[in-house]
Amino acid sequence: MLALDMRSFNLLAALQCAVLGLVLMGMQRNFPSRIQGLRLWALAALLALGSTVFYGLLGVLPATLVGLAGNGLLLACTVCLLAGTRDFFGLPWRWGPWVALCGLSLFGLWVFFDLWPDYRPRMLIFGLAMALICAAHTRTLYRHGRGFASRVMMIAMAWQTLVLLARGLSTYWVDLPTTQRFDPGSPIHSVFVATFSFTILMVLVGAQLMASERVRQEFEHLARHDELTRLFNRRAILELVAQEHERFQRLGQPYALLLLDLDHFKRINDTLGHQAGDRTLRRVAEQVQQALRATDQLGRYGGEEFLALLPASDPASARSLAERLRARVETLPPGPDNTPACTVSIGIATVLTTDTEWDTVLNRADQALYLAKAAGRNRVAAA
């Protein structure tokens, strides 16, 4: 009865894993292409189901074939889980060492299946190989995971590592040479099988939660960033300005605003096309962003205009930075793909003690920008 119960539990867990795998596969098809790893997680779930199918054929197929195929699929499942997680985090991955580990493990299993039949060294080899893969997975999640979902996955993997180590190292005390996977006389092994199946299920649930969290972060990023330049959009940069103004009112820390406008941008669009204009915007945004301080914020204010927020800046430091930005853009040579050289006009406004609202500072920056353009463009002006 225990053997039947364990087989049933194992099959049920594997079917649940397969369902989660199919869900992950569907998620990958509908998620942004930047989110990777879901297909490998889905493949791992299907491999877990395949291993369960082979284990269920014990007594129908030769024991050696069942053992090697079932264990091989479980090893491949665990490696795919690790590969999927590293892919999800954008980390480098090499299949070679892990394929070699699986191959050596299967060779060792075959030796103790056919040449010197003994369950205990098979359990030791399998347990240690799986524990090594799970430990690497745990380490990856610990170092690169963020948020609740990755912690769930990490805890499940850490627990799996400990269970595999304990099971592999204890085999010579709790097993016999003739012990089988679903042996009703081995309750410890039954607990191990149940724990292993449940942990794989928890890892896949964690994978789905991680993918969902990443999509939420992607949507939040899109809601606050300009798609073309990857800078803050108008709403987001103005929110930051409002927050900085509140800080000024509480602490008295001054700030400055720079309003930058590309000179004769309409001419670029009309003569070279809108794609050249887009490339010019991206190029200028990148150059300005690189020249700002780590505490400064830059956003696309609208069209060809950019707004820079400079915390803890007085008029002299704000003007010095604005001149550097203007000169940096002016000295850029024409870029590849017909990207033209260009210049910018910059208006500066520093907060005053009489400014009760942040939009007053922004209006002065806009007036200063008008002065810079009226003076001949490629100028810096303050108001």
CA-CA distances (angstroms) from residue 264 to 70, 218, 350? 68, 34, 26
pLDDT of residue 87: 92
pLDDT of residue 38: 84
Residue 76 within any structural domain of the chain: yes
Residue 209 within any structural domain of the chain: yes
| Nearest partner of 305 among 379, 366, 242, judged by Cα | 366
Same domain, 241 and 188: no
Task: Give the CATH number of the domain where residue 327 resides.
Answer: 3.30.70.270
- C-alpha angle 240/243/245, rounded to 5°? 110
Structure token digits, residue 91: 């980390």
Quick: pLDDT tens for 205-227.
Answer: 888 788 878 777 777 777 888 98
pLDDT of residue 78: 92
pLDDT of residue 3: 44
Total domain count, the chain: 2
Q: Is 117 helix (H, G, I), strand (E, B) or coil?
A: coil
Quick: pLDDT tens for 240-285.
Answer: 999 999 999 999 999 999 999 999 998 888 888 889 889 999 999 9
Residue 251 within any structural domain of the chain: yes
Which of 176, 192, 224 lies at the terminal end of a domain, its last residue? 224
Same domain, 81 and 155: yes
Regions of the chain with pLDDT less than 50: 1-4, 185
Which of 224, 248, 283 lies at the terminal end of a domain, its last residue? 224
Between β-strands 297-302 and 380-382, what pairing exists: parallel, antiparallel or unpaired? Answer: unpaired
Same domain, 161 and 39: yes
Listed in sequence order, the residues at least 6 apart from 198 whose beta carbon sits closer than 8 Å to its beta carbon are 13
Pseudo-torsion of CA 151, 154, 160, 163, nearest 10°? -80
Same domain, 91 and 240: no
Structure token digits, residue 251: 């602490």
Same domain, 177 and 263: no
Same domain, 220 and 242: no
Listed in sequence order, the residues at least 6 apart from 32 whose beta carbon sits closer than 8 Å to its beta carbon are 215, 218
Same domain, 122 and 179: yes
The string of DSSP codes covering 127-193 is HHHHHHHHHHHHHHHHHH--HHHHHHHHHHHHHHHHHHHHHHHTHHHH--TT--TT-TT-HHHHHHH
The string of DSSP codes covering 304-361 is TEEEEEEET--HHHHHHHHHHHHHHHHTPPPBTTTBPP--EEEEEEE--TT--SHHHH
304 catalytic? Reply is yes
Same domain, 278 and 186: no
Task: Give the CATH number of the domain where residue 84 resides.
Answer: 1.20.1070
Same domain, 212 and 326: no
Same domain, 33 and 70: yes
Residue 229 within any structural domain of the chain: no
Which of 224, 254, 285 lies at the terminal end of a domain, its last residue? 224
Same domain, 183 and 61: yes
Q: Which is catalytic among the residues 227, 304, 305, 357? A: 304
| Nearest partner of 211 among 47, 87, 21, 31, judged by Cα | 31
| Nearest partner of 147 among 90, 214, 201, judged by Cα | 214
Same domain, 129 and 250: no
pLDDT of residue 330: 93
Q: Which domain holds residue 283?
A: 234-382
